[in-house]
Amino acid sequence: MTPSAARFAAIPQAGLFTADHAELRDVIRQWVRRALRPHAEEWERAGDFPYREVFREAGLVGIFGAKYEPRYGGTGPDLVADALITEELVGCGAGGVAAALGAHKDLGPYYVSRFGTEQQRQRYLIPAVAGERICALAVTEPGAGSDVAGIRTRAERIGGGGWRLSGTKTFITNGSIADFVVVAAKTEPEAGAHGISLFVVEAGTAGFSAQRLDMVGWRTSHTGELVFEGCEVPADALLGEEHQGFGHIMANFQWERIVMALAAVAAARATLDLAISYGRERKAFGRPVVKFQVWRHRLADLATEIEAARALTYHALRKIVAGEDAVREVSMAKWLATELDWKVADEALQMHGGYGYMMEYPVQRAWRDARLGPIGGGSTEIMKDIIGRSFGL
């Protein structure tokens, strides 16, 4: 970390992070630097990482347990601790690895914790927190995108109280390596958003298959397409209340989006540091003064915007932690932070000139990885629509 980044990371946030949080942040940061960061380039070139090994070690360190009680293997519940873990995972240097760990931390298992029965928590949450079983959340579909109410995957009742699932999910982080998947399906097709339910489907279940997708960024992520062809699951696979899946998804979207904002702000700052470091190197070669005036002004703009995005994101986080309605603030933070991360990456690549377009320079990876932010977890357009509707428009 550069001196400027070290100062930035140390900025205290009154009423949010405690001394215990600072200690936890140091533990997580040291683990990321030791276990993940040194392998980033190798894993990126391979387009893969030893996910079983990494997930198990992450479980031992406590990456997945901050939101959960000790009886489930957790160290919480502490949403602030979980938020800082999100920020520190960005430092691993490989967006796909951070996404894989983050999706497991914040999506499927969190649904099991919030909406599952005690039996489901024992069966799925405990091994997920330990990093022994990997989970994915399957909501997005090829024809629905950000429109959750428009999903077409069906779940029909069968004899014995079970269910038969049919449909396709896509862009599912960890989808092709998951041991179990939380799936959204229509149980009352004519009821729109009021006819969606959630199910837990285990890998290896007959009629369930998954394949990995090839993406521009997040090259180490096992993002997959999932197909359910007459996939039969027992009655106890239902997660939460029947027909209440849309509400469960909306409730959890706030956490999914705030962690995306947190990660985006941290990534934007890391990318800015790449640009600053490169600028210092070029300045040492005596480049024209006018060029550095332009660079200084660009960097000043970006640094200021990052601070503003961080403040908004922490404001939304405070409201969530306090149990207040934060839908508007979370939506603002998500679109602002993810769009800013992409903007910073684009500016940083421009500063690198032709070198920025070379695969050997990490700024190109930041550029590719950042582009997904304004799309995933609800697009920027969806976020703006939510904000606009919050004003009664």
Task: Give the tokens for residue 119.
Answer: 């039996």
Q: Among 279, 278, 378, 257, which residue's Cα sits nearest to residue 329? A: 257
d(CA 321, CA 315): 10
Considering the candidates 225, 256, 329, 347, report the single residue annotated as catalytic. 256
Could you list the beta-strand ranges (E) of the chain: 135-138, 154-157, 163-172, 180-186, 196-202, 208-212, 224-233, 238-239
Task: Determine contact, residues 334/262, Cβ cutoff 8 Å.
Answer: no
d(CA 306, CA 365): 19
The H or E element containing residue 282 is helix 245-283
Task: Determine contact, residues 141/169, Cβ cutoff 8 Å.
Answer: yes
CA distances, 46 to each of 94, 222, 258, 346, 360 (Å): 12, 12, 30, 25, 14
User: Residue 175 has what DSSP assignment?
Assistant: T
Phi, psi at residue 35, to the nearest 5°? -95, -25
d(CA 202, CA 88): 30
Active site residue 256: yes
Radius of gyration for the chain, computed over Cα atoms and rounded to the nearest angstrom: 21
d(CA 356, CA 2): 20
d(CA 331, CA 334): 5
d(CA 57, CA 252): 26
As annotated, the active-site residues are 256
